[in-house]
Amino acid sequence: MLTSSVSYKIGTNLNLIEVALPEKNFTVSDGMISYAHLAIDYSKVFEGVQINQLNNLSINTIGDNSSALAATIKNNISSMFHFE
């Protein structure tokens, strides 16, 4: 049971990443409406993070942004996205 608040403020230049989406072919035709469904699996952000550990529930300072926890979360972000 989670008895503490969760707070992640990851936003320093050190943690700026570019997410490359998986390749997907789309057909776009003149006068037609086309849809692309991009899904986000938020559980992937915590892969490899033991969220039952109190010290893994927050990243709130500039110093925290250079922690191993911040690096793990940053590296997990790109795996969150996929096309349906």
| Residue 84: pLDDT over 60 | yes
Query: pLDDT-based confidence at 48, cuts 50/70/90?
Result: very high
| Residue 4: pLDDT over 60 | no
- Averaged over 29-43, what is the pLDDT? 89
- Averaged over 35-56, what is the pLDDT? 90
Bridge-partner residues for 59, per DSSP?
8
Identify the pLDDT of residue 76. 93
d(CA 38, CA 44): 15
Q: How far is CA 21 from CA 24, 25, 37, 84, in A?
A: 9, 12, 12, 12
In the chain, where the domains are located:
36-84
Residue in the block written with tokens 């035709």: 29
Phi, psi torsion values for 54, nearest 5 degrees:
-55, -40
Query: pLDDT-based confidence at 5, cuts 50/70/90?
Result: low
